[in-house]
Amino acid sequence: MKLKGYPGLEDVFDLLEVEYIGDRTAPLRVSPHDNCVATVWYSAYLARKIMEARGGGQFLYLIQDYEPAFHPANSSFVLAEATYSFDYAAFFSTEALQQFFIEKGIGVFAAAGTDHIFYNNACSRALPSKEKFLGARRPGRPRRLAFYSRPPVHRNLFEIGALALQAAHSAGVFAGAEWEFIGIGLGEAVVELGDGVCMKQMERMNLSDYQKVISTFDIGLSLMASPHPSLLPFDLAGSGAVVVTNSYAVKDQAYFDRIVEGVIVAPPDVPALVSALRRAVAESFDLNARYARAAAMRYPTDWKDTFGDAHVALVRGTFADTFAASR
């Protein structure tokens, strides 16, 4: 099973009972003691319906992004936005996303009293010993840039990132050294940078193979038109790369500086990103500083860090009323 191959999930099916209902061939049986967790906006409609059928009460809404922005101004947009006014307790994926909902007064957050808490998803940092880190970057080795290229996922701003790389290459940002440009993500994207230089797409791989590769990059370019920071900036920065990402609402330079140095935040604008890439190239040559910043990163690198005893106790206290009827 693929799930059991992920760290921390080896015994998941010893702890959980799973019933697949995707084929809709039989009704879902629930009791007055059951509760629901919605993980995406359309599942919130099902969660609300189940809670109403069992006599009322809040469901737990795992909010992983501001999902109306995934759609143009259409029915899906307004249906997604409407879910944030349902009766739920909110469990946010990252502190930045929680702060966005609070500051914007989205849905139930327009009023006080909503139960909510956040967790920071553990990233996949792979920081070797300092000796190995420095040794792998010996003189004459091609330098490597990772671009989070996911053309099918519009919020990752593939076109803007590709244009920024092309403009930076044309402006001589990468001159003076041999560079390899690697795309990470979905699709078969090809980015021609000019003078015969082309970005290569990295093949899909499992987590352990991914962690072997993530520490080989010198620079990362990871864009996302969302208040959620995504995990790749932390994967890369925590593994010793200099990272360029874009600002969005609460996701600004101050946010990243509280967590890890070495992330350069720029507006999602081609000239601004070219300037940020120029700075990243300059900073990438200071290997000792890169390693020190990566080692000092203040972001969970393990799910035990994310859900330590204190955090679990806080979660239980926050959602005690939500799940009281389930006991």
Residue 20: predicted pLDDT: 78
Strands 143-148 vs 179-184: parallel, antiparallel or unpaired:
parallel
- Ordered structural domains, the chain, with CATH: 3-122+304-326 (3.40.50.11090), 130-299 (3.40.50.2000)
Which positions ≥6 away from 142 have C-beta within 8 Å? 177, 178, 179, 180
Give the mean pLDDT of 111-119.
89
Each residue's pLDDT tens digit, 93-110: 999 999 999 999 999 999
Q: Please list the residues that pair with 60 across neighbouring strands.
A: 37, 89
Partner residues linked to 219 by β-bridges: 145, 242
H or E segment and range at residue 210:
helix 207-214
Does residue 234 contact residue 221 with C-beta atoms inside 8 Å? Answer: no
Cβ neighbors of 41 (< 8 A, separation 6 or more) are 67, 68, 79, 80, 83
- The string of pLDDT tens digits covering residues 198-221 is 998 888 888 888 888 999 999 999
Residue 103 to residues 84, 199, 249, Cα–Cα distance (Å): 14, 39, 10
- 154/175 Cα distance (integer angstroms): 30
How many whole angstroms from its chain centre is CA 79?
24
How much of the chain is in helix, strand and coil states, percent to nearest 5? 40, 15, 45
Q: What is the pLDDT of residues 222-276, one digit of tens each?
A: 999 999 999 999 999 999 999 999 999 999 999 999 999 999 999 999 999 999 9
- Percent of the chain past pLDDT 90, that is, above it, reads 65
Q: How far apart are CA 103 and CA 101, in angstroms?
A: 6
pTM of the complete model: 0.89
Check: CB of residue 185 under 8 Å from CB of residue 204. Answer: no
**Residue carrying structure tokens 């909503």:** 114
